[in-house]
Every structure is written in structure tokens, then in C-alpha cells.
Amino acid sequence: MSDTSLSFIDPVFLARFGLSRINALDYFLHPLNPFRSKTQQSSNEILSMQGISLDTLQQSQIQQQHLQGRPYDIVSALRRAEEEYNQQLEKLVGEQYELLPPPEIAEGETPAAGELFVIRHVLRSSKISKKVLGIYYIIQGVIYKSPSVRSVVKANIARALQALAETCEALSTCAVYEPTMGYTWDFELAKKRKGGDDNVIDEDNDGSLSAKRPTKKRMRKVLDNRPPGEATEEEEEGLRAIEAIDKILVRLSKSEVTTATLKDAPA
């Protein structure tokens, strides 16, 4: 199972402590969280054993504000605590988890009980050198792993190819060939054939493999009399491309928008 299909939530932790930027890293480092590294101790855990956390650093900043006579400002205290915490991480090497900065907060506003936190998993080799190992999101207490760029692009391409295949299926029955005129488009003829011609696939039977198989066999006999396997790989690819275009023609022939456009077009 892919990591992107997993998620983690601890209702007991959330009910007892809530979730904010102060304890988001502690929540991510939960012993039962499947996303945290189990191979070695992270730098965050080393700092925690030294008593260094966002909570303790924020309390220290608030005490400094009080001693210096400055007005109480929890936003600036939290921001400075995060900066100091990141500086402590830079002194260590190994696997680390960074809490990425939140959206900018207007001056005078208090941070909300965040709905989204972004955790970055890195492998630090020096103060200025680190490698990103993963990105994780905490959304309303549920931890997810961010998909990779490759998987996102792959999903977008798959959706685009599916749309093209459906377009080819819609156009396949609208092309009419005559020796004197060549290929022409006749969407009205495709409507008349619908339901009465075995070569046309009805929308109600789109999910039936038995309805599609005879159509593909007849198409192949028209395109190439040789049985499958005798053609070269390039020829087979060409036949598959032609069949895909035919599918586009079928689907377009059933489109009400296309039919209305042709009716309104000047003769």
C-alpha cells in the first residue's frame, strides 16, 4: 500500500492537548505515527530530551517580554521561538522534522487553532546542506503524506488520456466516407444508427465488455485484414490510434452541444 493512501489520527491526544503550532511536531512524533522514521533517532527527539521544545522556548520569550516591560505579544513570542528552535536543529545532523511557516498573520491578530500544519522531513548533513525526504500535512488532526510530483503528473496525464479516449469514442460513428467526397461528418446519421446498428455502442452499454468487443473486431477487419500478431509493432500502434479516434467520433456524435451547433451553422 502506498504511503499516500495512509493516514494517522490520535483522538486521545487531540482531546487532551488540542492541536496548535506549539505541539504539532510533538503530535507528528507520536510513537504510533506510521510516517515518522523508525530507523534512527531524529534531531527533534534529541532536543526534546534536552528540554528544548517550541513550548519551552515560547514560555522563555514571554518571560523576556515581561522582564523587559514589553507588552504581551504571543505572536512574536511564537515566531521567535520557532526561529530559535530551527537554529537548534541546524546545529545537529541526521533526520529532522521542520514545521514550515504558517500563512502571514496580520499585526495584532492572534493565531487561530490551526486547521493545517505542514511538516518537512529532511536529512541534514551540515548547517547549510540538507535533503528533503518527504512532506506531510496535518489537517484537522489527521496526518497525510504529500504525493510526489511524479504521481501528480501521472494522475493528470491519466485523466487527460481518459478524456481523449471518450472524445474518440464519441466521434467514431460520425465520420462517413464516400469515394467522391472523402470523409465527411454526419451527426444526424449517427443518431439514426444509434440503437439499431451493432457497430454503434449505446451509452447505456458503455460498461459492457460484450457490447464493445464485436465493434472492435469489425473495426479491425475494415482497417486491416490480417489477424492480430502478424502486423508490426508500429502498424499495431497505428491501428490502436485509429480505433481510439473512432471512439472520439462516437462520443461527439451523442453530444447535444455538437448537434445544436451543426443545426445553427449556415448551410
Which helix (H) or strand (E) is 67 found in, with range? helix 54-67
Compute CA distances 20 → 17, 117, 122, 239, whole Å: 9, 8, 22, 58
Strand partners, 250: 169
Residue 200 has pLDDT above 50, yes or no: no
- Of the ranges 40-54, 92-106, 217-231, which one carries the lowest mean pLDDT score? 217-231
Amino acid at 140: Q
Nearest to 39 by CA among 82, 95, 84: 95
Question: Measured between alpha carbons, how far is 164 from 166 in angstroms, rounded to an integer?
Answer: 5
Compute the mean pLDDT over every residue in the chain, rounded to the nearest whole number: 76
- The segment(s) of the chain belonging to CATH 3.10.450.580 are 3-147
Please tell me the pTM assigned to this model.
Answer: 0.56
Contact by Cβ (8 Å): 22, 55: yes
Burial of 166 (0-12, 13-18, 19+ CB in 10 A): middle
Cell numbers for 157: 496525464
Only one residue has cell 472492435, namely 216
CATH 3.40.50.720 fits 3-147, yes or no: no
pLDDT, one tens digit per residue, over 70-120 is 887 888 888 899 999 999 999 999 999 999 987 666 555 555 555 789 999
